[in-house]
Structure 1
């Protein structure tokens, strides 16, 4: 599943390509996504002008000039493709998984602009596209989500209060979108390695300096991944034909049995399963 950095790269690509454009036509070929697309979806989007493309957590938000919105969640296998009528550009995929070319199957939604078409593809159909009428409705959609790692609300006082008397391990907290929004399995492992914190440690016994590290390293790791173009753990190529490069920076993720990358550490990377998710950590410097 794309995490915050990958979705941010998609957002940037879409913002550059379709901001200011007017939707001429909408075709829904399959309404049975994770949330069923209602029959009035096409009518709601036609003739809308796009103001900008935003993002919250792992969600892409299309802002329209009339203060309505469209929320896109890529789920496990969703990809967004842009096709230019007059361009011979080889790569169409703005997302991070599978082929960079427009697939022949599972193209569920098509949004047509002048000389440009956006296609939402999703083989597993765990993603969805949702039209939202107002800012109030948009805020309600995300009211139960925790702050993003980059938010000023993700601070020591917030984290300390949230962790109080809670026995859940820190790895599960980093994956809990009610606590902090946008961190997924890959980055949770990388963040905890940078903090030298074991993924199984109970959140309520973390010291203030450890909490401060978690906040700072969350921002550092995610920012670095965005700069590197996200993580291509399969076959991603973006619209320029370039792969995300952050997977080359992984310190622990998918590095089971390899030596710890810290020069002064003699440990090795272990893999354990935490709540059905693979978790990677160093057996020496993450105690």
Structure 2
């Protein structure tokens, strides 16, 4: 599943390509995504002018001129492809998941502009679309979600108070979107390694310095991943022909059996599966 950095790369590509453009036509080939696309979806979006593409957590937010909003969540396997008539693109994929080229199957929706087509592809159909009618409803939509790691609200006071008397392990909290929004399995493992914290340590046992390390390393690692184009696990390219290279920076993720990369640590990276998720950590320096 794309995590915050990968969704941010998609956002940047879309913002660059469709800002200030109007949707001329919408074609829905399959309405059965995670939530069924309503019958008036096409007419609602037709002739809407886009003023911005933003993001919250793993959600893409299309802002329209009349203050309506269109949310896109990519789910497990969703990708967005851009076809440009004026400047044909060798690589159509705005992210690094699945084929860099437009697939022939599972193209469920097309958003047609004057010289562009934006196509939503999703083999597993866990992604979804959502229309929001005003800013107040947009705020309510994310009310139950935690702050993003980059937010000023993700601070020591918030984290310490949230962890009080909590028996759940810290790795589970980093994946819990009610606590913090946008972190997934890859980056949770990397953040905890950078913080020298065992993923299975109870949250209530973390001291203030450990909480500060988690806050700091969350911001640092996610920003590094964005700067490097995300993690291109399958080594594919985006619409500019660039590859996400953060996977070259992995210290623990998918490093099972390797020597710890921390200087002077002689530990080995271990993999443990809990709740169908793989957790990677150093058995020596993550306490």
Same-fold call, TM cutoff 0.5: yes
In 2: Cα distance, 1:139 partner to 1:285 partner: 41
| 2:222 corresponds to 1:222 | yes
Q: TM-score, normalised by structure 1?
A: 0.99
Q: Does 1:156 align with 2:166?
A: no
Partners of 2:282 and 2:12 in 1: CA distance: 34
Q: Equivalent residues in 2 for 1:94-173 (5 A)?
A: 94-173=94-173
1:272 maps to which residue? 272
Give me the whole-angstrom Cα distance separating, in 2, the residues matched to 1:123 and 1:260. Answer: 37
Matched residue SS, 1:273: strand
Q: Distance in 2 between matches of 1:140 and 1:37?
A: 21
The one-character-per-residue Cα deviations of 1:118-148 (angstroms, maximum 9, x if unpaired) are 0000000000111111112211211110000
SS at match of 1:187: helix
Name the CA distance, whole Å, in 2 between partners of 1:236 and 1:56: 25
Deviates more, 1:138-147 or 1:84-93: 84-93
Does the 8 Å contact 1:27/1:111 carry over to 2?
yes
Distance in 2, matches of 1:240 and 1:139, equals 33
Q: Tell me, what secondary structure is at the counterpart of 2:251?
A: coil
C-alpha separation in 2, matches of 1:161 and 1:274? 26
Q: Distance in 1 between matches of 2:235 and 2:79?
A: 12
CA shift digits 1:36-73 (9 cap, x unpaired):
10001111100100000000000000000100000000
Using the alignment, how far apart are the partners of 1:37 and 1:195 within structure 2? 42
Tell me how far apart the structure 1 counterparts of residues 25 and 6 of structure 2 sit (CA, whole Å). 28
Residue of structure 2 in register with 1:19 after alignment:
19
Aligned residue number for residue 7 of structure 2: 7
Deviation of 1:274 after TM superposition, in Å, equals: 2.6
Residue 44 of structure 1 contacts residue 131 of structure 1 at CA under 8 Å; is this kept in 2?
Answer: no
Pair 1:56-2:59 in alignment: no
Is 2:149–2:219's contact at 8 Å kept on the other side of the alignment? yes
3-state SS of paired residue (2:278) = strand
Q: Distance in 2 between matches of 1:39 and 1:195?
A: 49
Q: How many residues align?
A: 287
Deviation of 1:86 after TM superposition, in Å, equals 3.0
Report the secondary structure of 1:138's partner residue: helix
Q: Is the CA contact 2:235–2:244 (under 8 Å) kept in the aligned structure 1? A: no
User: Which structure 1 residue ranges, 5 or more long, are not aligned?
Assistant: none
Structure 2: distance between partners of 1:223 and 1:84: 29
TM-score (ref. length: structure 2): 0.99
Alpha-carbon contact 1:71-1:132 (below 8 Å) kept: yes
Partners of 1:273 and 1:184 in 2: how far apart?
15
SS for the counterpart of 1:211 is: helix
- Equivalent position of 1:188 in the other structure: 188
Give 1:88 deviation, angstroms: 2.9
Q: Deviations over 1:245-272 (max 9, x none)?
A: 0000000000000000012100010000
Which residue in 2 is equivalent to 1:204? 204
Q: Contact (CA 8 Å) 1:195, 1:213: kept in 2 or not?
A: yes
The aligned residue for residue 177 of structure 2 is 177
The Cα RMSD (Å) is 0.7
- Number of the residue aligned with 2:78: 78
CA distance in 1, matches of 2:253, 2:284: 16
Note the residue ranges of structure 2 that are not aligned, 5 or more in a row: none
**8 A contact 1:93–1:101 mirrored in 2:** yes
Distance 1:235 1:199 in 2: 27
